[in-house]
């Protein structure tokens, strides 16, 4: 199979019409039909179900489409990166991050990266832990910054920083530094937390700590975005528990109370795909240097 053949397959998978696909890629319809037939014979699987009226992807065809799309994207990125290296520039560095990272290490890191690698283009994706893991596996991002996550075996990680959790309350909340005693004071409160399935460890850790104080938090609202959490707290819709740096530079009608007896800390991790470790080694060494300064 050839790259043009795979690209033509993707066009047909999108249009599901041999005539339209042939017109789009500027070849004769019989030639496209032969290409698809040859591709199916080489793979040993039928990719399209055809009849006189319709063309549809089979289950194997849908799987093959997704994988071809991913692989051709990786090939395009590799070509761009090779061209950038030839020209003496680094190319594009793609970083996923939880929203809270923008309140802590990320701005300083990006500034230092620009100074150390002036030719680099940095693309940021503010996404959940789970989305970062999937994008790392598909090589759609190079690194991810994730709080308190369970890192699976195919990924590698290192801890960037740790910080204490802070209770986030509306400014006029009854609790303050003088009368706040324990998390048990919050057993009747409504909590605002990230989606449990998206945190991939973060929310589970927080909920487990609450259970040691004798209650399960009543989660009324879920959002993965730190700014949204703070706005909801300001509106009096609930309270939250977040890393201390989340309040950095924030001017809202909210307040933070330290949790001196809270045994869990926010543990921010830098993660990458394990099979790319050699390829990313120079970046990892640079991160070690830069993150010590932010």
**Ranges of each domain in the chain:** 3-70, 84-159+268-291, 163-265
Position 154 scores a pLDDT of: 93
Q: Which class is 84-159+268-291 in CATH? A: alpha beta
Query: Which of 110-119, 156-165, 199-208 is predicted least confidently?
Result: 199-208
Give 3-70's CATH code, choosing from 3.40.50.720, 1.10.10.10, 3.40.50.300, 3.30.2130.10.
Answer: 1.10.10.10
Residue 90 banded pLDDT, cuts 50, 70, 90 = low
Residue 294 banded pLDDT, cuts 50, 70, 90 = low
- Closest by CA position to 161, among listed 98, 94, 246, 101: 101
Query: Which of 76-85, 144-153, 217-226 is predicted least confidently?
Result: 76-85
Q: Which CATH architecture has domain 163-265?
A: 3-Layer(aba) Sandwich (3.40)
> Is the whole model's pTM more than 0.85, yes or no?
no
Question: What is residue 254's three-state secondary structure?
Answer: strand
Proportion of the chain in helix, strand, coil states, percent, rounded to 5: 45, 25, 30
Q: Are 221 and 237 in contact (CB under 8 A)?
A: yes
Position 157 scores a pLDDT of: 93
Same fold, 84-159+268-291 and 163-265: yes
Position 239 scores a pLDDT of: 94
Position 1 scores a pLDDT of: 82
**How far apart, in whole angstroms, are the C-alpha atoms of residue 69 and residue 6?**
9
Q: Are 246 and 164 in contact (CB under 8 A)?
A: no
Position 88 scores a pLDDT of: 46
Look at residue 14 and tell me whether its pLDDT is greater than 50.
yes
**How far apart, in whole angstroms, are the C-alpha atoms of residue 268 and residue 155?**
15
């Amino acid at each position: 199979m050839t790259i043009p053949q795979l690209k033509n397959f993707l066009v047909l998978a999108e249009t599901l019409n041999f005539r339209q696909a042939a017109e789009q890629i500027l070849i004769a319809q019989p030639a496209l039909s032969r290409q698809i037939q040859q591709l199916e014979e080489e793979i040993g699987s039928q990719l399209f179900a055809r009849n006189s009226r319709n063309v549809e992807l089979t289950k194997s065809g849908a799987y093959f489409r997704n994988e071809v799309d991913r692989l051709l994207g990786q090939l395009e990125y590799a070509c761009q990166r090779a061209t950038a290296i030839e020209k003496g520039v680094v190319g594009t560095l793609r970083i996923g991050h939880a929203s809270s990272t923008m309140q802590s290490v990320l701005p300083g890191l990006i500034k230092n990266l620009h100074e150390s690698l002036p030719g680099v283009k940095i693309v940021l994706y503010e996404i959940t832990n789970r989305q970062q893991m999937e994008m790392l596996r598909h090589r759609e991002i190079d690194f991810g910054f994730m709080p308190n996550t369970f890192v699976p075996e195919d990924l590698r990680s290192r801890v960037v920083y740790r910080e204490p959790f802070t209770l986030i309350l509306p400014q006029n909340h009854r609790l303050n530094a003088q009368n706040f005693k324990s998390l048990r004071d919050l057993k009747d409160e409504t909590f605002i937390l990230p989606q449990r399935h998206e945190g991939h460890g973060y929310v589970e850790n927080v909920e487990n700590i609450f259970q040691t104080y004798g209650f399960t938090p009543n989660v009324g609202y879920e959002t993965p975005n730190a700014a949204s959490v703070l706005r909801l707290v300001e509106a009096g819709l609930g309270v939250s528990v977040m890393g201390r740096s989340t309040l950095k530079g924030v001017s809202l009608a909210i307040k933070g109370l330290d949790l001196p007896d809270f045994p869990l800390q926010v543990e921010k991790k830098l993660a990458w795909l394990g099979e790319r470790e050699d390829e990313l080694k120079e970046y990892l060494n640079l991160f070690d240097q830069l993150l010590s300064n932010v």
